[in-house]
Amino acid sequence: MTTASTAGTATGDAGGRPLGPPPARGGISRLVRDSLVVAKRNLIRMVRIPEVVIFGLIQPIMFVVLFTYVFGGSINIPGAPVGDAQAYREFLMAGIFAQTVTFATAGAGAGIADDMHKGLIDRFRSLPMSRGAVLTGRTLADLVQTALTLVVLAVVAVLIGWRTHENLAEVLAGFALLLLLGYAFSWIGALIGLSVRTPEAATSGGLIWLFPLTFISNAFVPVDGMPAFLQHVAEWNPFSATVAAARELFGNTIDGVPKSVTGAWPMEHPVLASVIWSILIIAVFRTLAVRKYRSATA
């Protein structure tokens, strides 16, 4: 009787129905602990596959060099002398930094899609852990990798002549806003990764919408040279708000030049707008991603 009862408990209930996965343990503290465990697992994986980090550095460095030396003397910055390469360098770097943190979205989506494809998510689901911890841990690990990429990219930028003109606290605040945007976009990547069948599809899906988002913005060229309807799109773009905020905190703006050509509120208050946009994106896409995760593994 005891043996039969024990077997029934392991494989099903008293009526012979199979039991589901162990119940997830809730609470904020449990979510934090489980998320950190998953983040550690992903960071160890990154260390063991260093080519992922190396290849992730090559693209932004190429963008810095190409934009600086190919376009630096041909793009005029409002308020700066015509052909001033140094003015363009300081204008450009906030855009390159922002592009780098948002392009990490594709990696986040591909990583989650790969875990789903290999069945790792199902193994996590069989454990009594917080359901949101798997995605939160993954996005935190991606945030650490993005921060390391930004450090290397900043060193390269300094070597080619980029300079900041504000105190250290404001410069660090600029990088913090960039990382917040990157973390927000990683949740979009998580949702994409859960919505497709293969890592390849997640990579394509994570990049295709980023190109118009980053290029219809103030990242690489001044907005005043765009058609009127694109000026409004660019200045209400959440990507543009973070770029403008970073430029302001780095001291890479030019005195006397209007912040906005259309009077858009995000350009007039870029730091606050950047925070609001990032928090809104996190709130919306984290909710959607966790819901998708629960339905995908149900």
Per-residue model confidence as pLDDT tens digits over 203-234: 888 788 998 999 999 999 899 989 999 999 99
Segment 39-49 mean pLDDT = 80
Residue type present at position 284: V
Segment 17-36 mean pLDDT = 65
Distance separating alpha carbons of residues 124 and 142, to the nearest angstrom: 19
| Average of per-residue pLDDT values in the chain | 83
* More confident: 46 or 103: 103
- State residue 292's pLDDT score: 87
Q: Are 177 and 242 in contact (CB under 8 A)?
A: yes
Residue type present at position 168: L
Distance separating alpha carbons of residues 255 and 10, to the nearest angstrom: 71
- Count the alpha carbons within 13 Å of 237 in the hemisphere toward its beta carbon: 26
- State residue 177's pLDDT score: 97
Distance separating alpha carbons of residues 226 and 117, to the nearest angstrom: 43
Residue with tokens 């819901």: 291
Residue 16 has pLDDT above 80, yes or no: no
Closest CA to 217 of 191, 192, 245: 245
Give the model's confidence band at 150: pLDDT under 50 very low, under 70 low, under 90 confident, else very high. very high
* More confident: 80 or 268: 268
Residue 11 has pLDDT above 50, yes or no: no
Q: Are 252 and 91 in contact (CB under 8 A)?
A: yes
Residue 13 has pLDDT above 60, yes or no: no
Residue 125 has pLDDT above 90, yes or no: no
Residue 273 has pLDDT above 70, yes or no: yes
Q: Any idea of the CA torsion for 176, 178, 180, 181, to the nearest 10 degrees? A: 170
Give the model's confidence band at 255: pLDDT under 50 very low, under 70 low, under 90 confident, else very high. confident
Closest CA to 142 of 240, 71, 45, 222: 45
Hey, which of 13-27, 170-184, 246-260 has the most confident mean pLDDT? 170-184
Q: What are phi and psi of 18, to 5 degrees?
A: -65, 145
Give the model's confidence band at 3: pLDDT under 50 very low, under 70 low, under 90 confident, else very high. very low
Of 33-42, 183-192, 226-235, 259-268, minimum mean pLDDT range? 33-42
Distance separating alpha carbons of residues 184 and 196, to the nearest angstrom: 20
Give the model's confidence band at 297: pLDDT under 50 very low, under 70 low, under 90 confident, else very high. low
* More confident: 228 or 111: 228
What SS3 class is residue 18? strand
Q: Are 30 and 130 in contact (CB under 8 A)?
A: yes
Q: Hey, where are the domains in the chain?
A: 37-296
Residue 237 has pLDDT above 90, yes or no: yes
* More confident: 185 or 105: 185
